[in-house]
Amino acid sequence: MSTVPNVPYRLEFSVEVPGTPEQVWEAIATAKGMSAWFTQTEMEEREGGSLHFTMGPEMGSDGRVTGWDPPRRLVYEEDWAALMGKDPDSLSPLTSEFVVEARSGGTCVVRVTSSGFGIGAAWESEWWDTLAPGWLPFFDNLRLYLAHFTGQEATQLEATASHAGDAETLWSTLRAALGLGEEGTPVEARGATGTVERVGERQAQVRLTAPVPGMLTAFTYGEEDGKATAGVRAYLFSADAAEHVRREQPAWQAWLQELPVPA
């Protein structure tokens, strides 16, 4: 017998981004656009179309487009029960809605709402508590993408490494090793140059200018077993980006593993 979900969960926020509604729509409602600031995305770009977000090796989220009104409104549902390894009848779909509103001065406001219903289990509220901190930083990527790389296709690079200790200490180590100063300051790290665009809690965003233009986020997060993970995620925009990633991803991986973390 399945449990009828009846506990509501909801996350709402809005972001102002540069660009026309059509440019913003291309960034938030196409596979090419979503893959350039969020995660690798496959999407049938129509109402009823299938959707897949890649979330790591052999991990992903499947869904479908339930609302499609270009360039104004996109709605999609994901199976968050399957994503969390739970009974598919126990939770409603996770629904995300994007509404684009044009503003004067060449910007748009994107209003984002994610909602779902559960059974009130402790793991559900913990999962929703981590949704905003995990998702919101990507919208800094969206803003930067629309400002500097709109319409371009991204090649992604991602590398992570776990270390004993806590995420805050590991972040201090990672930030120092990369030479990340305050917002607006130049960066030169591992042969790449750029500018610090944003510094948040245990993460920072850099706009890369050479050798390959793009966006890079450095971050750390804690794990339950007394370990923490350090990582970098980059979106690169050039014809030779794929070759750069083939060469640099293993190098980033080795560099992260060798971080001199205090005992």
- Side by side, the strands of the sheet bearing 7-18 are 7-18, 107-118, 94-103, 73-78, 59-69, 50-56, 41-43
- Side by side, the strands of the sheet bearing 155-164 are 155-164, 227-236, 214-222, 203-210, 192-200, 186-189
Residue 1 has pLDDT above 50, yes or no: no
Residue 261, classified by CB atoms within 10 Å of its CB into exposed (0-12), middle (13-18) or buried (19+), is middle
Pick from 135, 148, 136, 133: nearest CA to 215: 148
Contacting residues for 154 by C-beta, under 8 A, at least 6 apart: 35, 36, 37, 214, 235, 236, 237, 241
Residue 213 has pLDDT above 60, yes or no: yes
pTM, two decimals, is 0.93
31-85 tens-digit pLDDT:
999 999 999 999 999 999 999 999 877 788 999 999 999 999 999 999 888 878 8
* Domains recognised in the chain with CATH numbers: 7-149 (3.30.530.20), 155-258 (3.30.530.20)
